[in-house]
Amino acid sequence: MIKALLEIFIALLMLINPQIPDALDLGKIPHGKEINLEEDFELVWCDEFNGTELDRSKWGFSWWITERKGGYWHEDMVSVKDGNLVIRAEYLDEPLENYYADKFPDMNMPEYKPGWYTGKVTTRGLHEFLYGYFEVRCILPAATGMWSAFWMMNEGVYNVDGSGKDGTEVDVFESFNYKDHWWGNDCVTTGIHFDGYNEGHQGDTIGNAFIKNNPYEEYNTYGVEWNKDEYIFYLNGVEMGRLSTGGVSQNPEYLLLSCEFAGENGVQFSDRHGTGEIDKTPEENWPAEFKIDYVRCYQYKDLIEK
């Protein structure tokens, strides 16, 4: 009942001014156009995760990365089961084995230690895409102090030149909000980043988007339409908002699915982006799981025909 009343309240505020819900730290309701996949797009790449192990012709691991913010990325935290890609997250008293330290001794990879472990997969070096529509169907991990994400990258993101045209991190969604807000936690954040991640960094966001069902128990789709002029973000096929700040990336980008813990240098200690402080209790929350039913990539039909 409260959720239904909140939805009505947000809708009324958006009629007055679409910026009011963001100013009040509310999640906005997707209210734009519906994506027309059948008419405008053609499926060119997908993974339905129907097997028993990760398809290494489509996905790889960032094997040279061990520490990641407040925890560790490790490929053993990734599995395929019951028609889903599953990225697990939990605290491990015994560190996992580094499979690559002996093969690449000059990499100086940080040592795995007891701590919070999770994982990431990427199409980097395997599949990159330029323009189109990119969608994931998934269930978000139900835990504080961490978040899941579906995002796109290329190496041009690190060029500090005042433009996102050579490369932009496109966060189709990030799930920072599993904690108690006064208005609830069923929302995701979307946005972009360019010009590196230091002093020159720039970015923009459309804010939080309100989800009608429970995204920690039910599947939803999160997508972005990317063309030479703008990024259009979608929740369950309905537009959430548009961004073109800094100019839209004109270079191919790869896909990533990941979970991360708040903190740094492998030590979890902070409330980052509103994730809340991590808590090992209640025990039934751990391990947390990011469940991905599919990833689908579409290209504009008129580009294919040309």
Confidence of residue 306 (pLDDT cuts 50, 70, 90): very low
Most confidently predicted of 4-13, 23-32, 100-109, 129-138: 129-138
List the chain domain ranges.
1-31, 32-305
Tens digits of residue pLDDT in 174-204: 999 887 555 557 889 999 999 999 999 999 9
Average pLDDT, the chain: 89
Most confidently predicted of 16-20, 103-107, 144-148: 144-148
According to the model, what pLDDT value does residue 267 have?
Answer: 86
Q: What is the mean pLDDT of residues 204-208?
A: 90
According to the model, what pLDDT value does residue 60 have?
Answer: 97
d(CA 159, CA 142): 35
Tens digits of residue pLDDT in 89-105: 999 999 999 999 888 88
Q: What is the mean pLDDT of residues 106-116?
A: 92
Q: For the chain, give the percent of residues with pLDDT over 70.
A: 88
Q: Flag the least confident range among 52-61, 85-94, 105-114, 264-273.
A: 264-273
- DSSP-assigned letters across all residues of 222-249: EEEEE-SS-EEEEETTEEEEEE-TT---
Counted residue by residue, the chain has a size of 306
According to the model, what pLDDT value does residue 9 have?
Answer: 60
Identify the burial level of 237 via C-beta atoms within 10 angstroms of its C-beta, where 0-12 means exposed, 13-18 middle and 19 or more buried: middle
The CATH architecture one would assign to domain 32-305 is Sandwich (2.60)
- Under DSSP, the state recorded for 198 is S
d(CA 88, CA 66): 16
Confidence of residue 55 (pLDDT cuts 50, 70, 90): very high
Whether 13 has a pLDDT exceeding 60, the answer reads no
d(CA 149, CA 225): 17
Q: What is the mean pLDDT of residues 156-170?
A: 96
Whether 235 has a pLDDT exceeding 80, the answer reads yes
191, two tokens: 């946005």
pTM of the model as a whole? 0.91
Q: What is the mean pLDDT of residues 29-57?
A: 93
Give me the half-sphere count of Cα atoms (radius 13 Å) on the Cβ side of residue 122. 20
Interacting residues of 250 by C-beta distance below 8 A, sequence separation 6+: 130, 165, 166, 228
Q: Flag the least confident range among 11-15, 51-55, 208-212, 271-275.
A: 11-15
Whether 279 has a pLDDT exceeding 80, the answer reads no
Q: Residue 192: which of 220, 163, 214, 235 has the closest Cα?
A: 163
d(CA 137, CA 215): 11
According to the model, what pLDDT value does residue 191 have?
Answer: 95
